[in-house]
Structure 1
């Protein structure tokens, strides 16, 4: 939650310029179109799963937590079970876009594979692979870089935000070209369905733009079909979960509950979760965000609607709220954690799943790179 200075909140904001107003209007219209299109795709997916290949990616900068699960992971198995070709990218190279080292990356990569399988991903029907193990996919970055300008990269919202957060530290070339690497991740496997949040739409638009520019500049020799499929957004309706400290949930802040944690560890952390001093529990996200966060979490874990949970607790206070939330979370995740414990005990199996996924990804990436080289007349 962002705290605004009282004097600043009372100040009158300057009227937007005509250019700013137009940009805002255009952005809102574009978002509305993206939402409408996403809803059309959602309706079509069960009926025509063969039309789609879904790609989602996670940076192994830490262990997966409840925010990841309710944000995206819980949709992976249902999408797979519809018959949609599902690809899960372990974006290990992207760890170093804004970090000086990779940390305990082997442990985190295997933990991510383990979590993916524990939530229902079937390696016989889905592909789990590591970015660094697919050279042909990464080779696409070079021709893709020729299709974007420096100013376009600087305008990307994620790049702009990272630059503002560097506190004077020079931006790495890898971070500046981050949107192009993401485009290569999406386009190499011909994914046409990418689950994203609203803030990630510019990255997807960059991938679409690169695909369009490549086909316009080079195209296939027979001109019958484009080299790349155009990826579209699957806009989720994930709830915003705060961290245990009431701030944004983040692996780097250490304010999360990880999927790999035990029921006792979960209970210990939730007992320390930030609330407020009002004993009567109410669901008021604007005025009582920390209390609302626990109510939302309990609701997501099957305890009922947030308002109903609050009414049941009444004047039981934060202690009763935390007890209910602990019970709901631990009951909901018990089967996932049991499955995860079995998987974590068999590292050889996790490695075999990853290597099989790497092999399939390499086959697809090589075919795509061959098509790119042929279109560029570099197939000699």
Structure 2
């Protein structure tokens, strides 16, 4: 069945950045007042070991929300890496490495649901009716999809890549999540989800809202640069992995780019590489970047790197110790995934049954 052209949605830009920032501040207060009213969906693609950028960008916040009492669903998006042959050929290893990182940083499987795309058929089945509610033009102009295609190393782009925003909508809506922690660059993806929820309710809801329109909890995550001065990324080989040992961490930080000025200051605009290292030390030490920079003063880049190395290794020590425990018990790791998949399947099955009833296709 061909997609029916959709009229422009009023409020399609309602989650513009400034509005999203203001609303996010309100949501943060509501979460603290009544965490039980919120269900969060978040997750990652299993493409390699998670690093410090991930930790301070998203992982730390997930654990914070979990500990506040928010219901947390964490998807390991294994279907979304099928476009990368190198990753797909070693998928089991990548999925388990991701789950190990989650457990190590404090995601508690007794309070949160960790699951994989491929193990929840009903979730993926939702993508078909959802695709009927968006146009090809909308997918084409999604800035996140454009960025994925621009940075793809493939000679041809598969159709799966164009479905990423709709697949993400299925991730969020299958469990009826009403809150999604995102960075500003992910707002277009979330707006697709909100549009799909709104359009499904209008077309099939018969006056009732089958799906909530999830809201963005904007991350105030600090920008940490990689050791080469560019964005920290698994694919660029410039990241400090959470699973790296103390010696590897020291080696990576020793090779990090700085600048020619001996005096250490914190000025991200004019001294981004030095400032990123100062910020990393500050985050690990629980101090302000200005305090860290002032303490180092004119001692130079060597002193800065030693401060960062000591701070990072001390901060990561308990995380690495927990990870080592889980590595030694792969049976427990697989049990966590198995039980999380079972919980996610039960939720997805119930949602799909509701969707079929609303669409008069409950045969």
What TM-score results when the alignment is normalised by the length of structure 1? 0.89
2:202 is the alignment partner of 1:200: no
2:55 is the alignment partner of 1:69: yes
Segment of structure 1 superposing worse, 310-319 or 146-155: 310-319
- Shift, 1:170, TM fit: 3.1
Is residue 250–residue 256 contact of structure 1 (8 Å, CA) maintained in 2? yes
Give the equivalent residue in structure 1 for 2:82. Answer: 96
In 1: Cα distance, 2:154 partner to 2:286 partner = 46
CA-based RMSD of the aligned residues comes to: 1.7
Give the equivalent residue in structure 2 for 1:5. Answer: none
Give the equivalent residue in structure 2 for 1:143. Answer: 129
Distance 1:251 1:355, change over 3 A: same
1:1-380 equivalence runs, <5 A: 30-97=16-83, 99=85, 102-166=88-152, 169-220=155-206, 223=207, 225-302=208-285, 304-380=287-363
In 2: Cα distance, 1:161 partner to 1:348 partner = 38
- Shift, 1:313, TM fit: 1.3
Give the equivalent residue in structure 2 for 1:17. Answer: none
Unaligned runs of at least 5 residues, structure 2: 1-11
Distance 1:327 1:363, change over 3 A: same
Moved runs in structure 1, 4+ residues, more than 4 A? 26-29, 98-101
In 2: Cα distance, 1:353 partner to 1:57 partner = 16
- Shift, 1:262, TM fit: 0.9
Distance 1:169 1:334, change over 3 A: same
Is residue 47–residue 87 contact of structure 2 (8 Å, CA) maintained in 1? no
Distance 1:100 1:156, change over 3 A: farther
Deviations 1:324-362 (A, max 9, x none): 000011111111111111111110000000010000000
- Shift, 1:100, TM fit: 6.2
Distance 1:280 1:28, change over 3 A: farther
Give the equivalent residue in structure 2 for 1:14. Answer: none
In 2: Cα distance, 1:118 partner to 1:362 partner = 25
- Shift, 1:27, TM fit: 6.5
Deviations 1:100-126 (A, max 9, x none): 651422122111111111111111111
Is residue 97–residue 178 contact of structure 1 (8 Å, CA) maintained in 2? no
Count of paired positions? 352
In 1: Cα distance, 2:147 partner to 2:241 partner = 26
Deviations 1:63-102 (A, max 9, x none): 1000000001011222112111111110111112455651
SS in structure 2 of the partner of residue 234 of structure 1: strand
- Shift, 1:162, TM fit: 2.9
Deviations 1:272-325 (A, max 9, x none): 111112211111212211111100000000163222222221221110000000
Unaligned runs of at least 5 residues, structure 1: 1-25
Is residue 54–residue 193 contact of structure 1 (8 Å, CA) maintained in 2? yes
Is residue 46–residue 76 contact of structure 2 (8 Å, CA) maintained in 1? yes
In 2: Cα distance, 1:325 partner to 1:104 partner = 33
What TM-score results when the alignment is normalised by the length of structure 2? 0.93
In 2: Cα distance, 1:100 partner to 1:180 partner = 24
In 1: Cα distance, 2:26 partner to 2:14 partner = 19
Distance 1:176 1:100, change over 3 A: farther
In 1: Cα distance, 2:89 partner to 2:275 partner = 34
In 2: Cα distance, 1:96 partner to 1:242 partner = 28
In 1: Cα distance, 2:33 partner to 2:251 partner = 44
In 2: Cα distance, 1:328 partner to 1:168 partner = 39
SS in structure 2 of the partner of residue 75 of structure 1: helix
Is residue 48–residue 97 contact of structure 2 (8 Å, CA) maintained in 1? no
